[in-house]
Amino acid sequence: MSITTKEIAKICNVSRGTVDRALNGRSGINSETRERVLEIVRKYNYQPHLIASSLSRGKSMSIGVVLFDLNNRYFSQLSNTISLAARERGYFTYISVSEKDHDSEMQILRNLASRRVDGILLLPAIQGKDYIDFLKSLEIPIVTTGNHLPGIHHVSINDFNAAFESADYISRRGYRRICFICPPLRKKGALEGRLNITSQDLRARGVRRFIDTNRGYQLEMLLQKDYVDRAVAMVRQGGEKIAFFCSSDVYALELLKRFREEGIAVPRDAGLMGFDNLDILAYINPRITTVSTSVEIQGRKAMDVLFKLISGETAPKLCYVPHEICPGETL
Partner DNA sequence: GTGAAAGCGCTAACAG
Partner DNA sequence: CTGTTAGCGCTTTCAC
Beta strands in 61-117 (DSSP E): 62-67, 92-97
Sign, CA dihedral 141-147-150-156, equals: positive
User: How big is the chain by its Cα radius of gyration, in Å?
Assistant: 26
Q: Are 182 and 200 in contact (CB under 8 A)?
A: yes
Look at residue 29 and give the partner it binds from DNA, a copy of itself, none, a contact being a CB closer than 5 to 8 Å depending on partner kind.
DNA
Look at residue 60 and give the partner it binds from DNA, a copy of itself, none, a contact being a CB closer than 5 to 8 Å depending on partner kind.
a copy of itself
| CB neighbours of residue 123 within 10 Å | 24
Q: Are 97 and 70 in contact (CB under 8 A)?
A: yes
> Exactly one of 10, 26, 43, 48 binds a copy of itself (CB under 8 A); which one?
48
The answer to whether residue 5 forms part of the interface with a copy of itself (CB under 8 A) is no
The answer to whether residue 44 forms part of the interface with a copy of itself (CB under 8 A) is no
> Exactly one of 10, 17, 87, 236 binds DNA (CB under 7 A); which one?
17
- Give the side-chain half-sphere CA count within 13 A for 148: 19
Reading across the β-sheet that carries 242-246, which strands appear in turn?
A: 218-222, 177-181, 242-246, 271-273
47 CB-near residues (< 8 Å, 6+ apart): 2
| CB neighbours of residue 28 within 10 Å | 7
Residue with smaller CB distance to DNA, 48 or 286: 48
> Exactly one of 38, 44, 49, 208 binds DNA (CB under 7 A); which one?
49
# residues near DNA by CB under 7 A: 28
The answer to whether residue 52 forms part of the interface with a copy of itself (CB under 8 A) is yes
The answer to whether residue 314 forms part of the interface with a copy of itself (CB under 8 A) is no
Nearest to 174 by CA among 226, 242, 234, 224: 242
The answer to whether residue 158 forms part of the interface with a copy of itself (CB under 8 A) is no
The answer to whether residue 314 forms part of the interface with DNA (CB under 7 A) is no
The answer to whether residue 34 forms part of the interface with a copy of itself (CB under 8 A) is no
Q: Which stretch binds DNA (CB under 7 A): 2-10, 151-159, 198-206, 213-221?
A: 2-10
Gap between the Cα atoms of 142 and 118, Å rounded: 9
CA–chain centroid gap for 12, Å, is 49
> Exactly one of 10, 39, 48, 107 binds DNA (CB under 7 A); which one?
48
Nearest to 23 by CA among 49, 1, 60, 62: 49
Look at residue 20 and give the partner it binds from DNA, a copy of itself, none, a contact being a CB closer than 5 to 8 Å depending on partner kind.
DNA
Sign, CA dihedral 176-203-319-295, equals: negative
The answer to whether residue 33 forms part of the interface with DNA (CB under 7 A) is yes
Nearest to 295 by CA among 45, 72, 47, 139: 72
> Exactly one of 10, 11, 25, 27 binds DNA (CB under 7 A); which one?
27
# residues near a copy of itself by CB under 8 A: 50
Assign 59 to helix, strand or coil.
Answer: coil
The answer to whether residue 11 forms part of the interface with DNA (CB under 7 A) is no
Residue with smaller CB distance to a copy of itself, 31 or 137: 137
The answer to whether residue 61 forms part of the interface with DNA (CB under 7 A) is no
Give, for 179, the enclosing helix (H) or strand (E).
strand 177-181
> Exactly one of 24, 42, 263, 283 binds a copy of itself (CB under 8 A); which one?
283
* Interacting residues toward DNA by CB under 7 A: 1, 4-6, 13-18, 20-21, 23-24, 27-31, 33, 48-49, 52-53, 55-58
* Interacting residues toward a copy of itself by CB under 8 A: 1-2, 45, 47-52, 54-55, 60, 62, 70-71, 73, 76-77, 79-80, 83-84, 87, 92-97, 99, 108, 110-116, 137, 139, 253, 256-257, 260, 279-280, 282-285
